[in-house]
Structure 1
Amino acid sequence: MFAPDYEYEEIKVAIDVKGINFEATGKVEKQLGWKSLFKNQQQAKKKEIVLPAMEKDQACQVNVEIAKGQTKAPKYYTEGQLINVMKYAGKEVDDEALQHTLKESEGIGTEATRASIIETLKHQLYIGIRKNQVTVLDKGKILCQAVEGTLLASPEMTAKWETYLKKIGKNEGSQEMFFNKIKQMIEFLMQEAPKKIGSMEQFLQQVNEKFFIGKCPRCNHEDGKIQDKGKFYGCSRYREGCTFTLPKKFLGKSISQINIKKLLGGEKTNLIKGFTSKKGKNFDASLRYDQTEQKITLYVFLYTAYLNFTNK
């Protein structure tokens, strides 16, 4: 003999509480059936939301509680996941026709170009890879802010181009019209660029402050700031001809930003352990940048050695 079926209805209830709309989603149980045999076990598990039977426009008493919690940032993509996001970019498009077009064209890029697009972004320092996760670098954040809200950042634009290119292939569209539309779009973006630049000034200032290490001791210009350039520290006025640089690694030893700041201020660094000489011997020393000689002075216990440096 078998127990009867467990019967329930899934229901979504809209509730008006003093003019504020709330929604509740849950089950309305019609008949426990076989589930009555496991009632104690079901209570031990995570509680399901079970709503009482109710009718439309029925008045009811509700208890409203504020749940406290913290939102979690989305997980970083790996390079492989980012390629899939590019391939299935159509999922982010609301228009079903454009979504279908992107699906047919396999999203942004092709199987042959997506990996190279990511490599280009890495090489140009728009993105970086940390612990196998793709992170957007400051240069990439500036680019994102520059194109935000424009057609350049829109998967829909790719879909519309693909749609019109298919029309051209079927002799239903004009090649000249396609190029004219692109020309108009470029002209529009060029007109909008100054507005974007104005809105980005504050963000650019924050980025510059983040990369600011100290004042350039060579050009001594008010705009000459030493910044982190990735593999070395250099002057922000390099385009104006200032060639001042300091290495991040000196005689096989990484130099901390704290000690770099001391060098720029004419101070002697803390004792740094683990330098390696040309003969392969390890030694400890302090450093000081001689602004007159434009050389790094190496203080090793009982003697001082001058080492030629790149600043000439």
Structure 2
Amino acid sequence: MKLIITEKPSVGQAYAKVLGVRDRHDGYLEGGGYIVSWCVGHLVELSEPEEYDGRYSKWEYADLPIIPEEWKYRVSSGTKKQFEILKKLMARADVDSICNCCDAGREGELIFRLVYNKCGCKKPVERLWISSMEDSAIKEGFENLRPRTEYDSLYEAALCRERADWIVGINATRLFSCLYRHTLNVGRVMTPTLAMVVMREAAIKAFKPEPFYTVQLITDQVQAGGERMKERNQAAEIVEKCRTAGTARISKVTQKEKSEKAPLPYDLTSLQRDANRMMGFTAQQTLDYTQSLYEKKLVTYPRTDSRYLTEDMAGMLPKLVQKIQEETGIAADKSIPVHAQQIINGKKVTDHHAIIPTNSIQRASISELPSGEKAVFQLIATRLLCSVGDSFRYSETAVEMECAGEIFTTKGRTILDPGWKAIQESVYPPKKEKSEEPDTIQAISEGSVLILSDVKIKEGQTSSPKHFTEDTLLQMMESAGAEEMPDEVERKGIGTPATRAGIIEKLVQKGFIERRGDKKSKHLVSTDKGDALVTVVPEQIQSPSLTADWEEKLLEVERGNYDPKTFMAEISGMITGLVKNYEAVKGADTLLPSREKSGKVIGSCPSCGSDIAEMQKGWFCTNKNCRFAIWRDNNYFKKLGKKMTPQLAEQLIRKGSAPLKNCRSERTGKTYNATVTVSPGQNGEAVFSLQFDKGGKACRKAFVLSIVSITICSVFLTAA
């Protein structure tokens, strides 16, 4: 019997369907020589500092740095049941081998191995590694399972990333929070990203626009402009000279044929950038939509940093292009020449190839997709059609005019072959900018003299740097540190395609940056809290270049070219030096936001006995070292169709439970009555559970399927 373990139930069920595994049990399926179960995300996670030593439950400067000699792991409080199911399945006598079918990437490898190791399992393991959820790809993957040992270095890189983030987050957060008496969350990737936003906002605030002037010559055939000048008087003098002259001579005409190659297919970051720029989607929304499309078998694996396909895929491209045109109507009236060689390069494909539609679109109803998924699918489909198309070709004409001893220039272009742009513009018509040069210039020969119909001054002013959008911030994250790295370095920047969206969301959730603007054109700005953090955090923590260097070393660990112990020693050494040498910035108290004042006390903390007081975002323990909190914006109660109210919060704190009427099942839509209880979890956080009234058995089943033990804890005391 082979035990198959996936990352999510939905993926497990898809694999089971392909393999013919139909018998359902609690937390797994069985049949045909297979057992299929799942992890529900991270079942096993790093332990908190206080689990190493009880004194770490209080944040004390004297206890820093906290660097474990042996790392401890714990089972996530909300997923213990599924962990126990997996543990029993691994221990079954009839299970002779295990297949790691978690997502084919760094995180998927980590999720599986932590569970496998925590269960103490020693049975042989094989690895499923696929880039598509199509039935044919799943079958082929299971026919060609790979040895676990091929991914040992990938696992080492994942461990290094996780442990480095823990060391930096725990120690830096506690260091700055103790020194400045405010909770200041610091993260290995989060803080350098925040620093880029803060620096951009500082540049915008410091910018002072300066006027400039150009002289414009206008004739019946062409108009041209001169160089920029800072003084209007200087421009006015040239205007007078040109008006007096009355004519201009064409001193030079050059014509060149140019072309723009078709764009490559999308990797995740380039897809997120276009979706933000064109549709206003956040990076996280785009990732979520693409992940859903992947699980619906409509696109290939989303968390990729490659924009090429492998050589074995060239043959299928003509039929795929034809299917896309037929099923979507994109460029349906155009004959697209498929230049597969433009996007084939196996040497530039790392774990996964570029994101493209799958052959399954022929059996799907694209029009019935949710609007967000449909928009992202259209982007991916359009990009593939463009990427195999002809180059965009045009003729560029540059004209130089001389008048009264001054030189004026202009450019224009004539389209020779629209190529791939015709495909793109059939779906996304271009918006012509006012400042765009004319498409064409009338035929003019060198030496000809033109009569001036007008000469005028055009006034402008220098522009400030622009606020970051998610498009431009992703671009900065991707290229951070590139100038200081050798050209041969493959992955530059901070974060990975899989993590960048989460970093941006975390900065927003923690109040360091915020989104401003309308629905489709939001920009990102730093808050006072974000500005204060970057002001007090030293260069080595906020340096994009240093973080980019760490990311490159993690990639080398993944490839087996860099020692994991050396990488961890660098991280530990940096943090140790920071704790020993950092001195608080004088006057920083004036930069930091004032503490939120506690409101009405509603009872005693079930975890530590201190007062629970009402604050802006919920009801929190007044003991700053305690993690017990009940949030107003409470996801657990949202799942029940309920809102957290002051009356409900007080009843939960004073009595430990409260009756709820007409709760709603997300899966069935049916309502039921139940009693909700609250108690402190392993680390003092608030853990909710339900006790069902009589007659609620059907709803109990529906509830268990829709909610897998959500744990609510205070992010104010969680290391970034």
Structure number with greater CO (CA < 8 Å, separation at least 6) is: 2
Fold match, TM over 0.5? no
> If the length of structure 2 is used for normalisation, what is the TM-score?
0.21
